[in-house]
Structure 1
Amino acid sequence: MTQRILIVEDEILVAMDLEDTLRDVGHDMVGIAPDTRTAMRLAEQCPDVAFVDINLRDGRTGMEIGRRLAVEFGVRVIFTSANTDLLGRGIDGTIGYLPKPYSARQVLDALEYLDARSAANDDIPPPPCLNLFHRAGPSH
């Protein structure tokens, strides 16, 4: 299933590599956001999924960006960070995280999991690379 994807990442080479991986398998790219202002502007284009780093050009704003994307825009958010301990037990409305460094296969496995979860139910197990936040709440 084709997804509309937003990448929130300030390291341009990392963002472009992720964008290429996702585009190569047929996903539509909403854009790359290196900071809060850009992420919120791109959110208006209705992405289905966002990959969000924590440390961005404007500081440690990724957690708030992820929360806003999920809660205000209904985006399924997966964090991508080497600093996953900052996420604690999770961020409202978001799904989980892929620790950096991650592979193209891990990203695609995470997206396949989201598709299967949407199509079937929440009982399917995630791929080993995707760490889900364990708490009650709405699923997307």
Structure 2
Amino acid sequence: MAPSILIVEDEMLVALEMESILEEHGYRVLGIAADLASALGYAQQGIDLALVDLNLRDGLTGPEIGARLAGEHQAGVLFVTANPRLLGNGVAGTIGVISKPTDEASLTSAVAFALRVRLGQPAEAPPSLRRFG
């Protein structure tokens, strides 16, 4: 079964482009969430990886979403944001961050890396990704 990915992004065109790219590469996109409540609504569906923006429809809730999905629901979390410096040294339990705008190669290599890390497999971070921890 293809890994399941949740996109947490409030800019619908960005989210739809990410969804299209991921599906073309064989991933199963569970859905698109634009805020904390809708992101946590997907949590019981078995998220392998969440791609989380920082500033969403309900404000700067991305770090909380990432921490909760990783800590409470054992999802892999990769932040995708135009403001990576807002994450400082990272968010406990999450994998890392890539900067927006991103391209297909950067997104798919970061997703493949994050999924390997989540499974405990050896992996080298792609140049576009800043790893936490």
TM-score bracket, shorter-length normalisation:
over 0.9
2:125 match: 126
Could you tell me which amino acid in structure 1 is paired with residue 63 of structure 2?
Answer: M
Deviation at 1:46, TM superposition (A): 1.1
Deviation at 1:119, TM superposition (A): 5.9
Is it true that 1:63 corresponds to 2:32 in the alignment?
no
The CA deviation string for residues 63-116 of structure 1, in whole angstroms up to 9 with x for no partner, is: 000000000000100001111111010101000001111111111101222344
CA gap of 1:2–1:119, structure 2 versus 1, over 3 A, is farther
> 1:1-140 residue pairs with structure 2 within 5 A?
2-117=2-117, 118=119, 120-121=121-122, 124-134=123-133
The CA deviation string for residues 10-45 of structure 1, in whole angstroms up to 9 with x for no partner, is: 000000000000011111111000000100001111
- Find the aligned partners of 2:99 and 2:16 in 1 and give their Cα distance: 18
Q: Which moved more, 1:82-91 or 1:109-118?
A: 109-118
Could you tell me which amino acid in structure 1 is paired with residue 99 of structure 2?
Answer: P
CA gap of 1:21–1:40, structure 2 versus 1, over 3 A, is same
Question: Which sections of structure 2, spanning at least 5 residues, go unmatched?
Answer: none
3-state DSSP of counterpart to 1:58: coil
- Find the aligned partners of 2:35 and 2:102 in 1 and give their Cα distance: 21
- Normalised by the length of structure 1, the TM-score is 0.89
Could you tell me which amino acid in structure 2 is paired with residue 5 of structure 1?
Answer: I
- Find the aligned partners of 2:115 and 2:81 in 1 and give their Cα distance: 22
Could you tell me which amino acid in structure 1 is paired with residue 124 of structure 2?
Answer: P
Runs of 4+ in 1 over 2 A off after TM superposition: 114-121
Could you tell me which amino acid in structure 2 is paired with residue 90 of structure 1?
Answer: G
- Find the aligned partners of 2:112 and 2:68 in 1 and give their Cα distance: 23
3-state DSSP of counterpart to 1:10: coil
Could you tell me which amino acid in structure 1 is paired with residue 93 of structure 2?
Answer: G
3-state DSSP of counterpart to 1:44: helix
- Find the aligned partners of 1:127 and 1:59 in 2 and give their Cα distance: 29
How many residue pairs end up in the alignment? 132
RMSD value, Cα: 1.3
